[in-house]
A and B are shown apart, each in its own frame.
Chain A
Amino acid sequence: MPIRKVMKANEAAAWAAKLAKPKVIAAFPITPSTLIPEKISEFVANGELDAEFIKVESEHSAISACVGAAAAGVRTFTATASQGLALMHEILFIAAGMRLPIVMAIGNRALSAPINIWNDWQDTISQRDTGWMQFYAENNQEALDLILIAYKVAEDERVLLPAMVGFDAFILTHTVEPVEIPDQEVVDEFLGEYEPKHAYIDPARPITQGSLAFPAHYMESRYTVWEAMERAKKVIDEAFAEFEKKFGRKYQKIEEYKTEDADIIFVTMGSLAGTLKEWIDKKREEGYKVGAAKITVYRPFPVEEIRELAKKAKVLAFLEKNITIGLYGAVFTDASAALINESEKPLMVDFIVGLGGRDVTFNQLDEALEIAEKALKEGKVENPINWIGLRWELVK
């Protein structure tokens, strides 16, 4: 029987890793993710998880050790956040280019400067071009489930790409909620024993991995990474369906909420989706025709699902905890690209919210609604980007 316990997302992530039975975990502590490797090291020390826990001197080394271990042919896990993920940057491309199905948990945290330990998505969003799949959890249960699903997809022969699972700093990493820990036997059935398909050390089969590619081959290598990420879309749907069958919890690349007759649909990711749904209920009672959509899978970007969503709304309003300096928020930008050749598309507005842990309140959502309503009434958007909840008196 699955056990239900009250725990933090960090603990849920450690439990997911334990259930997936990685053979090598390499990690370096960083706020707000430190508890994940701490808890895993306890599992290893107590003999509850048969794995090598490698203590390293930096995040660069943590991910490098995972690359080495995955290339040797075992399942691996690591966790980090913010500056730690930024320090891993160059190795993230290598993990994807070598097609190593590493899974990593991220406590989504802002980037310096100024130093800030609190939540936004700038750390993972800034890694969107590395070739890693990206999943975002709304709550602690999703953090656990999505890590298991990430392994399933990453290790699929049609994909073979690494994956990161993000959950919001403090809002989830340090918040306790009821979480169901699935049965080990069912997880074993779901994931199966790890069998490396291409990357493993075998003296009878000497190979070179991650070597030099001249102009005659490099572009093909990049194409196959891109193509694998495209194929991942279908594999993710299959993994979601199988997960639902085995564990009874449903996941979708984009989860819709009260979108059927909505004029304005607010799109977001992560824990903000929970607050948003609660706020949507309130606004519905007040007579607003609003709905919500939660993006669970950000890479590969759910292009088809965004197109379907766009058909339902007159205004698509994005609430995002990141900013591409010099343009707009990344989710808005990606969704715009998904819709660019559609003959009919909704108006689109972008709201930058909650950077560096600023609490995203109902008042702020009301502020965003007012701007989206204005676009709806006037039938146009002059400037798509809006900073919500900003203390304007401090920036004048």
Chain B
Amino acid sequence: MIEVRFHGRGGQGAVTAANILAEAAFLEGKYVQAFPFFGVERRGAPVTAFTRIDNKPIRIKTQIYEPDVVVVLDPSLLDAVDVTAGLKDEGIVIVNTEKSKEEVLEKLKKKPKKLAIVDATTIALEILGLPITNTAILGAVAKATGLVKIESIEEAIKDTFSGELGEKNARAAREAYEKTEVFEL
């Protein structure tokens, strides 16, 4: 079983990202589960969401404490939250940032096995006209983890957002997929 933890801020769509990742894996025949940790929801507050992916039915219902993959939607969270808390030794961290690999690593309390960075905010602003990075970052997740194909991410996005909005968000994911830099550490 693969466990993914998303860190975002209220309004950025971390919960939707977790759900879309689950649906993409479901489309590839996997068993999935995705859920939010509901705190006091308000725009801008740190938000956590989770996705589990497995080849057999998923029974466990606890939150995720030792993720295989951590996805950070908002670069400012690196200063506010210990995003690598409980990360497995073989863990992967994916960060939306305009900063360099070195600058990101400096802020992480635990060094991951693999780090992926992408400037999802710029991609989202260019394609969607809004700094909502949840769909773009999923392109980076597909690239860095190989958990799901980018095509499945695109399909799940189009299933979640209808019409032109779906097309644009799928394009943002594809663009991020192509621009993501992955570093083995």
Contact = CB atoms under 8 A, between A and B. Distances in A.
Interface of A: 6, 117-118, 168, 170-172, 174-178, 271-272, 274-275, 277-278, 359-362
Nearest to A141: B57
Given A6-B26, A177-B32, A277 B38 contact: no
A277 B58 CA distance: 11
Given A274-B61, A360-B62, A178 B26 contact: yes
Closest 9 CB pairs of A and B: A175-B35, A274-B59, A278-B60, A271-B61, A6-B23, A176-B34, A275-B61, A6-B26, A274-B61
Contacts of B26: 6, 178
B22 A275 contact: no
A178 B54 CA distance: 12
Nearest to B156: A6
Contact of B19 (A117, A118, A170, A176): A176
A118 B40 CA distance: 11
B62 A178 contact: no
Interface in B28-46: 31-36, 38
B63 interface: yes
A359 B36 contact: no
A360 B62 CA distance: 7
Nearest to B1: A278
Nearest to A257: B59
Contact of B38 (A170, A177, A274): A170
Given A6-B22, A176-B22, A170 B35 contact: yes
A177 B23 CA distance: 9
A361 B32 CA distance: 20
Given A170-B38, A362-B62, 11 more contacts: A170-B35, A170-B36, A171-B61, A176-B19, A176-B22, A177-B58, A178-B26, A272-B61, A274-B61, A278-B60, A360-B62
Interface of B: 19, 22-23, 26, 31-36, 38, 58-63, 65
Given A274-B61, A277-B59, A359-B63, A117 B38 contact: yes
A176 B33 contact: yes
B33 A175 contact: yes
A272 B59 CA distance: 9
B175 to A, nearest CB: 25
27 contacts: A6-B19, A6-B26, A117-B38, A170-B35, A170-B38, A171-B35, A172-B61, A174-B36, A175-B33, A175-B34, A175-B35, A176-B19, A176-B23, A176-B33, A176-B34, A176-B35, A177-B32, A177-B58, A178-B26, A274-B60, A274-B61, A275-B59, A275-B60, A275-B62, A359-B63, A361-B65, A362-B62
B162 to A, nearest CB: 14
A175 B52 CA distance: 11
Main secondary structure of the interface of B (DSSP, over half): mixed
B180 to A, nearest CB: 25
A274 B23 CA distance: 21
B1 to A, nearest CB: 10
A254 B36 CA distance: 30
Q: Which of A117, A176, A274, A360 has the most CB of B within 10 A?
A: A176
Contacts of A271: 61
B22 A174 contact: no
B65 to A, nearest CB: 8
Nearest to B34: A176
A297 B22 CA distance: 31
Contact of A361 (B33, B58, B62): B62
A271 B35 CA distance: 13
A271 B58 CA distance: 12
B38 A118 contact: yes
A178 B26 CA distance: 8
Nearest to A279: B60
Nearest to B27: A6
A109 to B, nearest CB: 11
Contacts of A272: 61
The winner among A272, A278, A362 for most chain B CB atoms within 10 A is A278
A118 B35 CA distance: 14
A370 B133 CA distance: 46
